[in-house]
Amino acid sequence: MINNSIISLVLLCAVYVGGNAKHNGGGADGTVPTSKDTVVMRVVEVLGLHESPFLITKVDDVEAGVIFAGKKTERITLANVVANTATNNARQTFSGVAGMTIWESDAAGLQLGIGARGLNPNRTSNFTTRQNGYDISADPLGYPESYYMPPLQALERIDIVRGAGALRYGTQFGGVVNFIMREGPRDEPLAGEAMLTGGSFGFVSVLARVGGTINKTTYTALYQQRRADGWRANSDFGQHLGYVSLTHSISQRIRLKADVTMMTYLAHQPGGLTDRQFAIDAQTSQRARNWFSVDWLLSSLTADWIIDSATSLRSMTFVNSSSRAALGNLDRINMVDLGGARTMIDGQFRNIGNETTLQHDFHLGTYAVSLLGGFRLFSGTTVQRQGTASDASDADFRFVGRGLRDGSDFRFPNTNAAVFAEAVIAVSDAFRIVPGMRLEHIATRAEGSYGISVRDLAGNLVVDSIANETRQRDRSISLLGLGMSYRAGSIEIYGNLTQNYRSITFSDLRIINPNLSVDPNISDERGWTADIGLRGTVDDLLTLDASVFYLRYNNKIGEVLRSDRAPLYLPYRYRTNVGDAYTTGIEAMTEVSLTRLMGYDLEEAAADVHLLLNGSVIRGRYIVPNDPTIDGKDVEYVPEVVLRTGIIVRAGAFRGSFLLSSTGRQYTDATNAVITSSAVSGVLAAYTVADLTVSYVLRPVTLEVTCNNLLGARYATRRAESYPGPGLIPAEPRSIFVGVRCAF
């Protein structure tokens, strides 16, 4: 366990340093000075810097009001990614991130599902997901699922911080995934691009984007429309997305940025399959009346103030006013849909929050210190209703008939207040200590009613009543962390130990689903994450990051397999606090320029050819001595081996990539069921997928061709207990896409 006393002592030392140091200048732009006599001039923007040719780089130690030093960080620069971004292909985009497990629930990346280290990938709910630094999930604490995926074609980069990101971004075990949108060019008043992509199964994507800088205002605006028929019956969808941002420099020291994102889509959902159905014909569909609708509206206002050469302030206010609705037949997939009334689950999300951070750089003797502190205030309300909908086949999202009497109607208000502080203490030019802490108060409530109805064997109602319910849970938590890093030339050794916490909410408790039941006494998770690693970049020759991690869960929330009572004994998942658990393993990635390795100069060589190799070997086990049916079992969603490798070629106007992704076998519940009749639990077989992408630039036009799943593998990445299942969800087969991009 973490020794809180030792970490507290280090934190107090950091605070003492901050309170007694003389201000000798410094770089509040994010660079920690390395000696007392150094004077760091603040630079708002530097053009013409050498750009890394690698897919993955580390994030700077201090950047945009966040401390990244001593943590496992990964930055994906989209300009270096040779992938099918029109379909938001996460398998290709995250190919350089070691140990990432990816769910493929739809063919267009409408929702992102990524996990790591035994964390459930469902809608990336175990990571804090952000866009331009602010929350984009339904409710970061109350319902942390992401129904909105930023368009990869419009991104500048993706920053990932593993579990230690909890101190700055929030308490999630996974850390944070932050999507940064591209801004308009600073050196011209108007520039734009149009992208058109067409592909297999009726896929069409159109994206238009304009941006530029006029006087002191930089702007960007984009619109994207995507649709497809889908490779399975009943899997068509249509999506519209718009994004606008304005950045205005009031002065050289003060800058304001506002942005708005609107996204809507309607998706027909073909349902899951049993294992036998999947083996016979994975293209078949057992559901024709299931639909899913999402409307997402995000907005933010960010103020950056450079107070002086050593101090800067950032304050970000964000609003989320969104909804999602699921409609269809939730019965087990091995039961034929014979028609009748459908079930609808409707969710409304209204959130507002503010995060403000203050960064100050100073010296204490020969020590250079960058101290960052801030607070977060958040208020959100989720309204969730479930009831009877029409017996038709169309997307009619209305309660009809008995409506909510067959379900529930609840409000889930929650508030969150947090303060946090971290520091980078440069003991020498090579060695840095990074202590941190977070204090958080969370209050969640449930207010509403649910129907109680019992029918006899003839189908007659014998009990029909409404029950009212009110619950409240308040808790205050503290998280501590300590990181260190040591640089020897271009190589850095880093380590971090951070406490983690994940709160439960009431929002799932009143969902009626024959495939899933939730323990009414489910409680929060606590634990900690440790990382020790080595990383570095050697010129343009190679980059590497290899680390060992240990993630400890106390009272881990998981799913076990249970069955109904006689006479059917049908299986279902039961979500509860399964017990203590851990995952541990090795994650490593390297990218090598074979051209440089063979002694060629990049400016003279015909092509720069890179070899990408990353993989993880992970073991996860439950520690539940009082339950021999679970004790020692594998933690779900932990493939023992994940391996990704590929070749990336850049030759003048030509770029190409061939990527191979291999994921080992994994269980989907804590009892390690191999197969079940309802297919909501069972093994996910190992699979290997190949992707090929090539592009060629004929300015101002770029042509791109992608073949996803080149070898035509038949595989599944997930089992669902509700939408888009229930059952085994087959991934898309071989598909081809052709894109044209025109810049002006």
pLDDT tens column, 8-18: 433 333 333 33
**Range from 32-46, 176-190, 628-642 carrying the lowest mean pLDDT:** 32-46
pLDDT for the residue 564: 64
- pLDDT tens, 76-112? 999 999 999 999 999 999 999 999 999 998 888 999 9
532 in a domain, yes or no?
yes
Degrees to nearest 5, angle at CA 47 with 41 and 50: 105
Tokens of 366: 């020969």
What number is the average pLDDT over the span 16-43? 40
Average pLDDT, the chain: 89
Residue bearing tokens 């190949």? 690
Domain annotation covers residue 415: no
DSSP-derived 3-state class of residue 46? coil
pLDDT beyond 50 at 43: no
Q: In this structure, is residue 252 part of a structural domain?
A: yes
The pLDDT, as a whole number, for residue 570 is: 64
**pLDDT at position 568, please?**
54
> Tell me: the pLDDT tens digits for 272-294?
999 999 999 999 999 999 999 99
Coil, helix or strand at residue 78: helix
Give the Cα separation of 718 and 123 in Å (integer): 12
Residue 471 pLDDT exceeds 80: yes
Task: Give the H/E segment covering residue 93.
Answer: helix 90-93
> Which of the four pLDDT bands, split at 50, 70 and 90, describes residue 142?
confident
- Quick: pLDDT tens for 720-741: 888 787 899 999 999 999 999 9
Q: Which amino acid is at 357?
A: T
pLDDT above 70 as % of the chain: 90
Q: Can you tell me the distance from the alpha carbon of 706 to that of 657, in angstroms, rounded to the nearest whole number?
A: 9
Other CB atoms closer than 10 Å to residue 91's CB: what's the count? 23
Q: Please tell me the distance from the alpha carbon of residue 288 to that of residue 268, in angstroms, as a whole number.
A: 8
Question: If you average pLDDT over each of 40-54, 244-258, 519-533, 575-589, which comes out highest?
Answer: 244-258
Give 332's pLDDT tier (boundaries 50, 70, 90): confident
CA distances from 241 to 154, 222, 295, 391, 685 (A): 11, 8, 10, 31, 35
pLDDT value of position 8:
41
Contact by Cβ (8 Å): 158, 342 = no
Q: Is residue 414 part of a domain?
A: no
Statement: residue 51 has pLDDT above 90: no
d(CA 616, CA 98): 6
Residue 37 predicted with pLDDT over 60: no
Residue 433: inside a domain: yes
* pLDDT tens for each residue of 576-623: 888 899 999 999 999 999 999 998 888 788 899 999 999 999 999 999
pLDDT in tens, 171-223: 889 999 999 999 999 999 999 999 999 999 999 999 999 999 999 999 999 99
Q: What integer pLDDT is reported at residue 205 of this predicted model? A: 98
- The answer to whether residue 682 sits within a structural domain is yes
pLDDT higher than threshold 50 for residue 28: no
Counted domains in the chain: 1
Q: Is a pLDDT exceeding 60 seen at residue 40?
A: no
Q: Which residues contact 537 (CB under 8 A, 6 or more apart)?
A: 52, 54, 57, 490, 543, 544
The CA-CA-CA angle for residues 185, 191, 192, to 5°, reads: 115
Residue 558, domain extent: 4-408+420-743
Residue with tokens 């990051």: 545
What CA–CA distance (Å, rounded) separates 405 from 466? 7
Q: Which of 253-257, 465-469, 671-675 is least confident? A: 465-469
Q: Which residues contact 21 (CB under 8 A, 6 or more apart)?
A: 362, 363, 364, 369
Partner residues linked to 497 by β-bridges: 482, 530
475 assigned to some structural domain: yes
Which helix (H) or strand (E) is 134 found in, with range? strand 134-135
Tell me which DSSP letter residue 675 carries.
B
pLDDT value, residue 75: 96
How many angstroms separate the Cα of 326 from the Cα of each of 296, 335, 433?
15, 19, 48
Spacing of C-alpha 740 from chain mean position = 28
Residue-level pLDDT at 711:
96
Instruction: Decide if pLDDT at 29 tops 80.
Output: no
Sheet with 176-181, edge to edge strand ranges = 56-57, 73-77, 155-161, 176-181, 128-131, 134-135
Is the pLDDT at 513 greater than 80? The verdict is no
Kindly indicate the confidence band of residue 509, based on its pLDDT and cuts at 50, 70 and 90. Answer: low
Instruction: Say how far apart CA 260 and CA 110 lie, in whole Å.
Output: 19
Reply yes or no on whether the pLDDT at 368 is more than 70: yes
Say which CATH number the domain at 404 has.
Answer: 2.40.170.20
